[in-house]
Amino acid sequence: MRTGSIMPGAMLGILGGGQLGRMFTMAAQRMGYRVTVLDPDEHSPASNIAERHVRADYLDSAALRELGSSCAAFTTEFENVPADSLKTLAEYGVVSPAASSVAIAQDRILEKQFLADSGFEVVPYAVIQDEKGSWNVKSMFPGARSESSSALLPGILKISRLGYDGKGQQRVSSQPELDEAWAAMDREPCVLEQRVALSSEVSVVVARGFDGEVATFPVSENRHRNGILDISIVPARVAPEIIRKACETAVHIAEKLDYRGVLCVEFFILGDGPDARLLVNEIAPRPHNSGHYTMDACVTSQFEQQARSLCGIPLGSTAMRGTAVMVNLLGDLWREGEPPWQEILRHPNVKLHLYGKLAARPGRKMGHYTVLAETVEAGLQLALEIKEALAASLRPEQRSRHDAHDSAHSAQSA
């Protein structure tokens, strides 16, 4: 339990040195804080700009002692940090989010069970675990037609732990495909979700302080490609009633978890208009890719909000100035060397963010750009024009592969 606010000048610790850690570090430094990053990668994006880098495994006891003894508070940039590390750091100071929240969010089985048991509507699913060499339905969300895998087909098999950005999951349409897919995942515990016809996908980033203060950011409408977020459109073009319900649900989830920090809740929308169904897809106990627009379009970014919550100071305003469209830049664009940045930089209302990663690989998030505009329509049009111009810089055979990748819209998000 915290005893007071942590003021600028203090050292903050973060587990994870990826792009989210980098953006948190920048936000905290602008506010006058210093940052120590714990990450095993010598060249992680956050460690390159932080005041200190403890290069070690997240479970390294000596590294955790070093971090704990030198920092006033601790946070994380991704949910796959071991929850035990957060428990250890809690012995030294404030930890946000708590290990208990991260433990739920980093395991799809625990996450689904928490959401369903708490009364939040989710996609019909089954938990599949290895028992004597064969798959077995362990539990199913009420409302499914029967406790049989066939009731959930066609579906998506998702590994319970360490899956992200479309990794660790596979679409299946029949029992043989399910058996084969599960075998390919080494019969690790998985969740089988029924595939549903979505009208759209949205997400809400919510911050909750240690004093119970809550603030939600404008709802983002998200488009995915091959399980990776492609474009976020803000404000989301859905019915006001859905916007209200999504924000309320995100806040209720944060309260149910007794969550402190920044949390993203992703939703599926089935149907149109105010009577559309809103299903919780998953929760992320950290700032989120779909909230990157806040760095340019909101009074307070999601990363500054993360620092404010962690340090026990009042949350900032989430008011938005105009509209925003955010587009991810994947490593596919680097096949011919550096992409033609002039296609972005020549537009005065477009903001380019690169993450400082040394190696570009297909599907790897290397950066993003955000288009600021008076209307969503104008912003989306310019965002797509820039996207096409960047793709045109590839050689013809590469462009055809890129276009095929870009057009394969995921039927159900990762």
pLDDT of 291 over the 90 cut:
yes
Beta-bridge mates of residue 325: 233, 371
Cis peptide before 314 (omega within 30 of 0): no
Residue written as token pair 């990794």: 167
How far is Cα 301 from Cα 321, in angstroms, rounded to an integer? 12
Neighbouring C-beta atoms of residue 255, cutoff 10 Å: 13
Q: What is the mean pLDDT of the chain?
A: 90
DSSP 3-state of 53: strand
The answer to whether 104 and 114 have CB atoms below 8 angstroms apart is yes
DSSP 3-state of 20: helix
Give me the CATH code for the 200-407 domain, please: 3.30.470.20
pLDDT of 132 over the 90 cut:
no
Domain ranges of the chain: 11-95, 124-194, 200-407
How far is Cα 266 from Cα 274, in angstroms, rounded to an integer? 18
Smallest Cα–Cα separation from 41: which of 26, 57, 52?
Answer: 57
Query: What class, spelled out in words, does domain 11-95 have in CATH?
Result: alpha beta
Q: Look up residue 270 and give its two tokens.
A: 């089935």
Percent of the chain with pLDDT over 90: 79
pLDDT tens-digit map of 358-368: 999 999 999 99
pLDDT tens-digit map of 4-17: 899 999 999 999 99
- Global pTM value: 0.91
Task: Report which of residues 147 and 202 the model is more confident about.
Answer: 202
How far is Cα 284 from Cα 286, in angstroms, rounded to an integer? 6
- CA distances in angstroms from 209 to 34, 264, 344, listed in the order given: 21, 15, 36
pLDDT tens-digit map of 78-98: 888 999 999 999 999 999 999
Give the DSSP letter of residue 332: G
* Fold agreement (11-95, 124-194): no
Beta-bridge mates of residue 265: 204, 283
How far is Cα 286 from Cα 274, in angstroms, rounded to an integer? 29
DSSP 3-state of 63: helix
In 262-321, alpha helices (H)? 294-297, 302-311
CATH fourth-level superfamily of 124-194: ATP-grasp fold, A domain (3.30.1490.20)
What is the average per-residue pLDDT within 392-397? Answer: 72
Q: Look up residue 18 and give its two tokens.
A: 């990826």
